[in-house]
Structure 1
Amino acid sequence: MLEGNRVSRISVRGFAVASATAVTTVGAVVGVASGSTAQPSNDAEATASDATLLADIPTGQQAQVQTASLTQQADVQAIAADASAKKDAEEAARKQAADDAIAKQKAAAKAEKDAKERKDAEAKASRSSTRDATSFSVQSSYSVAQIQAMARQMVPGGQFQCFSNIVNHESSWNYKAVNASSGAYGLFQALPASKYSSAGADWQSNPATQIKWGLNYMNGRYGSPCEAWTFWQANHWY
């Protein structure tokens, strides 16, 4: 039977060898995972060279040392594998997030383009279904119903009610209405009245010319008659 001190020394030395072997192994594993080509340290090689001492250890203890070494190596390799898997998962998640962001941007751009195309198509359809002021025959006088009928043919259907609301408040559809204090004139109470001339020279006698001017004004200043009506309701002028 071996002396207690000798067994203790050899056992410790054996575990040291096992540990050195495990460190060397995990170094190689981690190095491969990170792309490093560094060589094991001289200290690890020198310690590993003492493995011959295992021959002096009784068979039962050799098995224990070897089992401990293999277990430690397996644990270290598992840790390295987990770290590598975590790194791969994080990289995959970043790539997926970037792909998702690009896809959302493309979808938003397409939706915006489609909306613009629909709006342009609707505007074109509205223009094609309306009449110009010059297409109406000139009369010596016009009733409110006749003027409203003109407006219905000149103003896009979805905008007519807003358009009508403004005219009702400004002039009650009287194309010759005059504001005694300011001189504002016509269906839209333009000030000065000569503003109507941009739509036609016959603005004083032709309500269709005034309607053309009022529609152009609402579209140009507010975007549409309904937007103009929204502003009017908040401010009582437009």
Structure 2
Amino acid sequence: MSRISVRGFAVASATAVTAVGSVVGVASGSVAQNNDAEAAPAADATLLSDIPVGQQAQVQTASLAQQADAQAIAADASAKKVAEEAARKAAAETAIAKKADAEKAAKEAKERAELKEAASRSAARDASTFTVQSSYSIGQIQAMARQMVPSGQFQCFSNIVDHESSWNYHAVNASSGAYGLFQALPAGKYSSAGADWQTNPATQIKWGLNYMNGRYGSPCEAWSFWSVNHWY
């Protein structure tokens, strides 16, 4: 049991608090009740009544200060517990939100990759199925493109070709040497899609579609870039 020393008197804290409640009633103003079950004061403890009257107030003040300290410690512990719980809850909510965002991003990336792969497979397959001709009209070239480009992407694809070459697969830029439907520079880039790139618009279409998918993700994303920059 801790003790409070008041000018030479060793007073047990618990005994002092009991004495204050029973004799003075300063802390709460309540009247002490007799209780036969209370433990007797320790033999070496000094009762409040044994302390000179002039020093009793000091004992009472020390006892009340102890009670206030104990209450402050309890309040701090409670506040800390509430703060920790709030922090755990916020962290859990943040983790859930981040997981949802990551899953959404992964799903969108997968869909773009599938679209790109499907478009590439379609272009590779369809480019070789057209009958080779000595020349092609704009209508025939556009018909090829419609069969090779996903329907939801065709208008964007067409917009780019309209601006780059007006669907002329022999178009040449006099100043730069850019060639064909997509004004590839250097013109030899088309060869990655087929050796007949100079005479076969289907080969050029295959190359152009692969280029848009590879660099921008789709013809419509390529067109969005072109609309802002006037090149792609």
| Offset, 1:110 | 2.3
Match for 1:116: what amino acid?
A
- Specify the alignment match of 2:38 in structure 1: none
Establish whether residue 203 from structure 1 lines up as the match of residue 200 from structure 2.
Answer: no
Task: Please say if residues 22 and 69 of structure 1, whose CA atoms lie closer than 8 Å, have aligned partners that are also in contact.
Answer: no
Q: Cα–Cα, structure 1 residues 203 and 149, in superposed 2: closer, same or farther, change >3 Å?
A: same
Q: How does 1:94-113 map to 2 (within 5 A)?
A: 94-113=87-106
- Specify the alignment match of 1:89 in structure 2: 82
Task: Please say if residues 17 and 50 of structure 1, whose CA atoms lie closer than 8 Å, have aligned partners that are also in contact.
Answer: yes
Which structure is higher in helix share? 1
CA distance in 1, matches of 2:154, 2:198: 23
Question: Normalising by structure 2, what TM-score?
Answer: 0.65
CA RMSD of aligned residues (A): 3.9
- Specify the alignment match of 1:135 in structure 2: 129
| Offset, 1:148 | 0.4
| Offset, 1:211 | 0.8
CA distance in 2, matches of 1:211, 1:166: 12
| Offset, 1:219 | 2.8
- Specify the alignment match of 2:21 in structure 1: none
Question: Normalising by structure 1, what TM-score?
Answer: 0.64
CA distance in 2, matches of 1:94, 1:148: 61
Q: Cα–Cα, structure 1 residues 23 and 189, in superposed 2: closer, same or farther, change >3 Å?
A: farther
| Offset, 1:52 | 3.7
- Specify the alignment match of 2:141 in structure 1: 147
Consecutive unaligned residues in structure 1, runs of 5 or more: 1-11, 26-47
Match for 2:188: what amino acid?
S
Q: Cα–Cα, structure 1 residues 164 and 103, in superposed 2: closer, same or farther, change >3 Å?
A: same
- Specify the alignment match of 2:46 in structure 1: 51
Q: Cα–Cα, structure 1 residues 90 and 102, in superposed 2: closer, same or farther, change >3 Å?
A: same
Match for 1:166: what amino acid?
I
Q: Cα–Cα, structure 1 residues 132 and 76, in superposed 2: closer, same or farther, change >3 Å?
A: same
- Specify the alignment match of 2:229 in structure 1: 235
- Residue by residue over 1:90-132, the C-alpha shift from the partner in whole angstroms, topping out at 9 and shown as x without a partner, is 2222333333333333333322222223333444454566543
Match for 2:87: what amino acid?
R
How many pairs align?
198
CA distance in 1, matches of 2:150, 2:16: 82
Match for 1:174: what amino acid?
N
Match for 1:82: what amino acid?
A
Aligned residues with identical type, % of pairs? 59
Task: Please say if residues 22 and 73 of structure 1, whose CA atoms lie closer than 8 Å, have aligned partners that are also in contact.
Answer: no
- Specify the alignment match of 1:189 in structure 2: 183
